[in-house]
Amino acid sequence: MTTKPTGKYFEAVGRRKTAIARVRMFPGTKTGYEVNEKSLEAYFPVKEMQLTATEAIANAKTADKFHVTVKLVGGGISAQSEAMRHGIARALLLYDIDLRGKIKKLGFLKRDPRAKERRKFGLKKARKSPQWSKR
């Protein structure tokens, strides 16, 4: 387990479906990612999800300035990686508001509102109705 950074940090919350990410970005010389007290590679074993989670900070060209710690709860790992990206993008704005144009153009500041539709009574699923037979 790594030692926890102390001092000033930028904190933001990112969400996607039912996943919630609380992101803290510590400026300094030590860089890296810590997700639920694990390394980024250990928590997101798929390379594509690692890239999704770090996309906001990589496109802002500030990856070498921060140590990022993330607390993730809820959802699946795909939604968690997108929630982490949303949280990092919001925290970057607290660090430097001039990055807003670049991050907003990439679409990382908008919370994706899509979620699973609720099941209605009388139906099998949200919209699927029971089979109908004439006789």
Q: What are the C-alpha distances in Å from 38 to residues 33, 48, 57, 103, 123?
A: 8, 18, 19, 27, 42
Q: How far is CA 97 from the centre of its chain?
A: 20
- Tokens at residue 75, please? 């959802």
pLDDT tens digits, residue range 7-56? Answer: 789 999 999 999 999 999 999 878 899 999 999 999 999 999 999 999 99
Q: What is the reported pTM?
A: 0.87
- Report the pLDDT value the prediction gives residue 4, as an integer from 0 to 100: 66
Question: Which domains are delineated in the chain?
Answer: 10-106 (3.30.230.10)
Angle at 119 between CA 117 and CA 123, to 5 degrees: 130
Residues whose CB falls within 8 Å of the CB of residue 132, separated by 6 or more in sequence, listed in order: none
- Are the CB atoms for 19 and 75 separated by under 8 Å? yes
Angle at 19 between CA 1 and CA 14, to 5 degrees: 80
Whether residue 130 has pLDDT greater than 90: yes
Token output for 131? 């089979």
Q: What angle do CA 65, 70, 51 make, to 5 degrees?
A: 70
> Please, what is the average pLDDT of the chain?
91
